Structure 1
Amino acid sequence: MPFSESVATSDADGFKRQEAIWEVFTSECVYFLDQLMVLKEVFLATLINLQMRNCLTDVESWRMFANLSELCLVSFGFLNNLLRVIKNMLEITEGGGPTLLQVLSKAFQESICYCLQKYCLNYSTALLYLDSLKHREDFGSYVKWCERNEQCRRLQLRDLLVAPLQRLTRYPLLLRNIAKRCETEDERRGLQAIADQVDTSICDLEGKVKWLDNYQKVKQLRDALVWLPVWERHKRTFIPENLKHLLKTVTLENLIFHRSLLHEGKLVLTENTKLIDVYLFLFDEFLLITKMKRNKKVYPSHQELDQLLTDGCTFTVLDQPISLDRLQLKNIDQLNAATSGLPHSFIIMHQNRYQQCIGAFILQAASESAKKVWMSKIEGAVTALLKLDSQQPRVKSASLWMESSQI
């Protein structure tokens, strides 16, 4: 390659590298000025100002905005350091400052990922908290007043609250874009390592969010589940009043607290000639069929569990938990469903350790697709548990033990 062409190619590569760095800088400016600072100066500052005047004093700013102020400081510091690098590249300064790799490595290893993880872990809680306040007239007026501010650019509070999550997921793409255009192999490997680190942070965050969401939901559910005494569940069981104290009280904390909630939702149970609304909870080891007790409010059929729990709905456990290694699932095909008048239905059979059926539940979904989802979720959970049992059989361990069909 002629020398002139080589120089031209080198200049083109250098220009593309500068473009990639400039994209990181400009997008960070938009994130900092148009999202983080709008949240802080328009929404958070207004809320604090109102609370100083004894308005909305019961609204907890942390539950809604988490570590927003910390995010602003971190983003501003990152922009300043990145600007110094850009000035050095353009030879506006005398040089001698930190390199691009040093700035990015320090920013992502020491502050950006850590602060964003902290914020993102609170995000789902913030949305629930926001939903719990939206019916209040005073809070609604505050939000509408803030959203009318021209700095919001027609964005709503929810649009701005999600911005840090979106920014975190975009960082690896921006970093790899610079890495492709690096002049040296060391810088390319270094930037690739930082991008991989951010990816790892995102994966770690997804696991934490999933665990935290399950923990919070199960914690709420523990207080909403009702387990009737045996003499109320089975009318033929007679226990004299003076002997009832001898029966151990069921502690639902031991039942569900260390389990993962895989799926839940409303179905209809066919019992004799009656159709009963039930709510099913599929955990990683068993299935709970419960009867929902609503408040006087009228609930839409699509209402989510979080809102039901918030509104004080309770769930009375029918019969007993169905261990997944004792569960048989039977589909009711469309011909039999039409003949019996049970559309979108399937059967759950509960077996004892001797493979005898001790309970059968005909459950009806709202649609054929909803039925398929339920059957798929249950089959997947059963397969996962049986696979886990084959690798590491469950043994008796204090209050968490559940009798296995392997006995």
Structure 2
Amino acid sequence: MQIVIFINFGCQKKKQRAAVDFSTVSKGTSAGVKSRGALKQALFSQGVSDKNGTFEVGLILFFLLLLLPELVHSWIHRLITLFLFQSLSQERPGGVQGQVDALKQVLDLFNIPEDLRWTWGEGGTEKALEKSWTDIVDSHESMSKTQRHQQEALWEFINTELTYINKLTIATEVCHNITVFLLLRIYYTCDGSTVSPTMLFSNLPSILDAHQLFWHEVIYPMLQEVRLTGRPFDPLRLEAGCLQFPGRFPAYFEYCLEEERNVEFTRRQLDTTPQFHTYLTWVENHPQCGRMRLGDMQAKPHQRITKYPLLLKAVQKTTEDQPTKNALERMVRLVNHFLESINGYLQLKEDTLALSVAAQRIEGCKIEGLSEEIDKYVREFCCFDLMSPVRGVGPNVIRKQLMEETLKVRIRKDTKLVVLLFTDVLLMTKTQKKSDKLKVVRPPLPLERIHCIELKDGCDLQTFFNPKTQCVI
């Protein structure tokens, strides 16, 4: 049987009823199917008043849950929670505090699966590993100390990967519940700008998907081989997956870029939104969260991705076979290169943002020629953009502001100017009286054409500009 439900929410300050249309469609036949209008008339035209309209809607959805228990943790359950929150909030005075108290009651009724661990393996039935690698490796008693340490290091790699996936699964469930929290707040306050999953967790679901795929394609086959044969774990089974890190985990670039913003947004919400504080307290104290705080959930991805070189080095250190040792060295080197590329990406974005902020403070100098016609042609050549690439280097090298200082500059007469030193250029600017911006008063001076000489008094510095014609200015 297929249940089709049509919901129409309205955001109004006046008390209102929620209009619900639904029809029941039997598979393979259309006989006996009532129209949505007829069902609506039968349910809502029997003297139902505005006072108990919300109650009847909740009652109808309650019976839907009884008919379809498999939907208890689906959106229908969350819809009932929405209606409960609305009814509780309308009956409870006290403004924001009333909303907080109502939200506490709703959260107590909210169902979360008893076990949030990720299911994997054939048929999706496995949730846990063996207690130890010695439970599946037959020759563990006859191994040397070094070999045992190698197997323990590989087991730590596998075990911590599954633990990490489970923690991401919990964080993703919190992410989904944030969506429900957002719906509750929209329905009650008509304000959808308060909080959203991406503002707290960025693209965390994409990271979870990538690691689940890494488990299925790389780690699980290695684990199953040991289970079936009883032979020791082979580090070479990790090689293909580790050499594919850049292609498997590109989602970390975006997550690491947004992480600081997400943490700051969370801190601001905790300070300004009592409802969010109530929700977060409920989440962090829930047994299924395993005593993880929201900050811990947000920090897990960057903590994990930076741990892979250490895990691989631990395996390499205890490996005796030289070809295998060389392969592990390649894995470590490539994973480290991947981490360096993330750091380079973050530095590039940070430098670009800083340069953009600096460029917004600076106004170009006014070109005054002999006539309007001359001015027109002069402006075509007198155009310098701080955001433009630095000449002679690659696109990943961003111009940086190295120094800013107010100096007394003698051109025709002594003038106080704000001198800005960038990676490749020197700007002489002047403060504006009616704004915080700086106006360029002299043409930009390329550093490779500037020569500075300290004068005898030890306080003055003479600057010469040497153009390509070798004529000093």
Tell me, yes or no, if the aligned pair for 2:153 and 2:315 is still in contact at 8 Å.
Answer: yes
- The partner residue of 2:420 within 255, 258, 280 is 280
Asked if 1:268 is matched to 2:406, the reply is yes
Paired residue for 2:350? 213
Partner of 1:208, secondary structure, is helix
**Residue 119 (structure 1) aligned with residue 252 (structure 2):** yes
Q: Secondary structure at the match of 1:248?
A: helix
Structure 2 CA distance for aligned equivalents of residues 187 and 22 of structure 1: 17
1:221-370 matches, within 5 Å, as 221-231=358-368, 239=370, 244-248=375-379, 250-253=382-385, 255-259=386-390, 260-270=398-408, 278=418, 280-283=420-423, 285-291=424-430, 314-328=437-451, 349-353=462-466
Residue 106 (1) aligns with residue 237 (2): no
Preserved CA contact (<8 Å) 1:63 1:126 = no
- CA distance in 1 between counterparts of 2:469 and 2:316 reads 53
Q: Of 268, 284, 302, which aligns to 1:165?
A: 302
Q: Which moved more, 1:117-126 or 1:316-325?
A: 117-126
Give the direction of change, closer, same or farther, for the CA distance of 1:193–1:60 in structure 2 (3 Å limit): same
Contact 2:420 2:426 in 1 (8 A): yes
The 1:60–1:261 alpha-carbon spacing in structure 2 relative to 1, beyond 3 Å, is farther
For 1:145 and 1:330, locate their aligned partners in 2 and report how far apart those are by CA, in whole Å: 65
Q: Deviations over 1:98-141 (max 9, x none)?
A: 9644542233234x443544423553355357658966789755
SS of residue in 1 equivalent to 2:327: helix
1:47-93 deviation line (CA, Å, top 9, x unaligned): 4334445344486755764432121123234456536645654xxx3
Pick 1 or 2: higher relative contact order, CA cutoff 8 A, min separation 6. 1
Corresponding position: 1:76 with 2:189 = no
- Secondary structure of the residue that 2:229 maps to in structure 1? coil
Alpha-carbon distance in 1 for matches of 2:453, 2:254: 39
> Structure 2 CA distance, aligned partners of 1:96 and 1:406?
81
2:291, 2:434 → 1: CA distance?
40
Pair 1:20 & 2:162 matched: no
In 2 relative to 1, CA 97–145 (structure 1 residues): closer, same or farther, beyond 3 Å? farther
1:204 and 2:204 aligned: no
Query: What CA distance in whole angstroms lies between the structure 2 residues aligned with 1:17 and 1:124?
Result: 35
Gaps in structure 1 of 5+ consecutive residues: 1-6, 232-237, 297-312, 338-346, 355-402
Check conservation: 1:64, 1:130, Cα contact below 8 A. Answer: yes
Q: Name the aligned partner's letter for residue 195 of structure 1.
A: V
CA separation of 1:247 and 1:351: change in aligned 2, threshold 3 A: same
Q: Kindly indicate whether the alpha-carbon contact (under 8 Å) linking 1:50 and 1:56 is maintained by their aligned counterparts in 2.
A: no
Q: Residue 329 and residue 10 in structure 1: after superposition, are their counterparts in 2 closer, same or farther (change >3 A)? A: farther
Distance 1:294 1:59 in 2: 40
Equivalent position SS for 1:94: helix
Alpha-carbon shift at residue 242 of structure 1 (Å): 7.3
The question of whether the paired residues in 1 share the 8 Å contact of 2:401 and 2:421 is answered with: yes
The aligned length equals 312
Between the aligned residues of both structures, percent identity stands at 16
Confirm or deny: 8 A CA contact 1:40 1:69 kept in the other structure.
Answer: yes
**How far apart are the structure 2 equivalents of 1:133 and 1:406?**
59
TM-score, L = length of structure 2:
0.52
**271-280 vs 61-70, greater mean Cα deviation:** 271-280
**Partners of 1:265 and 1:153 in 2: CA distance:** 46
Structure 1 residue 404, shift from structure 2 partner: 8.5
The Cα of 1:198 is off from its aligned counterpart by 0.9
Question: In 2, distance between residues paired with 1:203 and 1:323?
Answer: 31
* Equivalent residue in structure 2 for 1:40, among 172, 178, 182: 172
How far apart, in 2, do the equivalents of 1:321 and 1:286 lie?
Answer: 6
CA contact (8 A) 1:172 1:199 kept: yes
Q: Is the 8 A contact 1:17 1:178 kept in 2?
A: yes
For 1:331 and 1:156, locate their aligned partners in 2 and report how far apart those are by CA, in whole Å: 57
Q: Which one has the largest radius of gyration?
A: 2
Deviations 1:364-384 (A, max 9, x none): xxxxxxxxxxxxxxxxxxxxx
Using the alignment, how far apart are the partners of 1:70 and 1:94 within structure 2? 32
Aligned partners of 2:308 and 2:194: how far apart in 1? 36
Query: Could you state the TM-score of these two structures normalised by the residue count of structure 1?
Result: 0.59
Is 1:178–2:315 an aligned residue pair? yes
- The letter for the 1-side match of 2:344 is G
Tell me the equivalent position of 2:324.
187
Over the residues paired in the alignment, what is the CA RMSD in angstroms? 4.6
Partner letter of residue 261 of structure 1? R
Deviation at 1:243, TM superposition (A): 5.8
